[in-house]
Amino acid sequence: MIGNLRPMEIVLILLVILLLFGAKKLPDMARSLGKSARILKSEAKAMKKESENEAAQQPDASTQQPAPKTIQAAPGDVTSSRPVGEPNQQTTKN
C-alpha cells in the first residue's frame, strides 16, 4: 500500500497526524525551540566577544620579554633562588 503513495501524499498524511495528535503541544514546542535558538545565539555572541577581549588584552609575543631564568639550590627551595643571565662570550672564556 505504501508503495502506491507519492511523496506529497505521505507528507500530507504525516501533517494530518501531527495536527490531530500534537496540536496542543505544537505551540509549546515552537516556544521552546525559539528559546533554545535565542540562548544559542546569545552564547555564541558572548563567546565571540570574550575571545575578542582576550585577543585585545594579550600583547604581541614579539614585544614580550622572556621571564628571567632562575637557579634553585634544591628542588622546591624558592628562598635561595636567584636570576641567571644568558651565557655570553665573557662568561664562557673562563
Tell me how long the chain is. 94
Q: What is the pLDDT of residue 64?
A: 64
pLDDT digits (tens, 9 = 90+) for 55-73: 887 765 556 666 766 665 6
Q: Return the higher-pLDDT residue of 4 and 77.
A: 4
Domain boundaries, the chain: 25-55
Question: Which amino acid appears at position 12 of this protein?
Answer: L
Query: What is the grid cell recorded at 68?
Result: 628571567
Average pLDDT over residues 67-88: 62
Q: Return the higher-pLDDT residue of 71 and 4.
A: 4
Q: What is the pLDDT of residue 41?
A: 95
- CA of residue 72 relative to chain centroid, distance: 38
